[in-house]
Amino acid sequence: MGAVAVAGPLPDGNLAAMPRPRSAPDLYLLSKVSTLYYLRDQTQQEIAERLRLSRPAVSRLLRDAQTHGIVQITISPPRGLHIDLESRLEEQFKLGVVRIVPTEPGTSPDLLRRQIGAAAAAFLSRTVHPGDTIGLAWGTTLSAMVQAMAPMATEGVHVVQTLGGIGPPAAEAYAAELVRRLAQLLGAVPVLFPVPGVVATTEVRDVLRNDPHVQTALRYFDRLDTVYVGIGGIDTNPVLNDGHSFPAGTLESVVQAGAVGDIALRFFDAQGAVVKTALDELILGITTEQLRRVPRVVAVAGGPGKVDAIHAALKADIVDVLITDQDTAEELARRE
The predicted-structure confidence for 20-48, as pLDDT tens digits, reads as follows 555 677 888 999 999 999 988 999 999 99
25/21 Cα distance (integer angstroms): 12
pTM of the model: 0.78
Q: What is the pLDDT of residue 9?
A: 43
Interval 197-221 mean pLDDT: 89
- Pick the closest to residue 128 from 95, 154, 151 (CA basis): 154
Q: What percent of the chain has pLDDT over 70?
A: 86
Q: Closest Cα to residue 149, out of 101, 110, 188?
A: 188
Mean pLDDT of the 298-317 span: 93
Q: Please state, in angstroms and as integers, the Cα–Cα distance from residue 280 to each residue in 194, 199, 205, 209, following that order.
A: 19, 10, 11, 15
Q: Is the pLDDT of residue 79 over 60?
A: yes
Mean pLDDT of the chain: 86
Residue 167: the pLDDT is: 63
CATH for the stretch 83-335: 3.40.50.1360
pLDDT number for residue 199: 83
Q: Domain-by-domain residue ranges, the chain?
A: 27-67, 83-335
Per CATH, 27-67 and 83-335 having the same topology is answered: no
Q: Looking at residue 7, what is its pLDDT?
A: 43
pLDDT digits (tens, 9 = 90+) for 175-195: 888 999 999 999 999 999 988
When pLDDT is averaged across residues 61-66 and rounded to a whole number, the result is 93
Per DSSP, which regions of the chain are E strands?
A: 97-101, 133-136, 158-161, 189-191, 226-229, 232-233, 261-263, 266-268, 296-300, 321-325
Q: Is the model's pLDDT at 13 over the cut of 80?
A: no
Give yes or no for residue 257 having a pLDDT over 90. no
Give the pLDDT confidence of 111-124 residue by residue, as tens digits. Answer: 999 999 999 999 99
Convert the pLDDT of each residue in 234-251 to its tens digit: 877 766 666 666 766 777
User: Class of the 27-67 domain?
Assistant: mainly alpha
Measured CA to CA, the distance from residue 266 to residue 309 in angstroms comes to 12
Lowest model confidence (mean pLDDT) among 68-82, 113-127, 264-278: 68-82
Helix residue spans in 17-139 (DSSP H): 27-34, 44-51, 55-67, 83-93, 109-127
CB atoms within 10 A of CB 183: 23
DSSP string, 60-86: HHHHHHHHTTSS-----PPTT--HHHH
Check pLDDT > 90 for residue 173.
no
Report which DSSP code applies to 257: T
| pLDDT score of 242 | 62
Average pLDDT over residues 288-293: 94
Q: Does the pLDDT of residue 171 top 80, yes or no? A: no
Given a contact cutoff of 8 angstroms between Cβ atoms, the answer to whether 309 and 261 are in contact is: yes
3-state secondary structure of 162: coil
Q: Which pLDDT does position 240 carry in this prediction?
A: 67
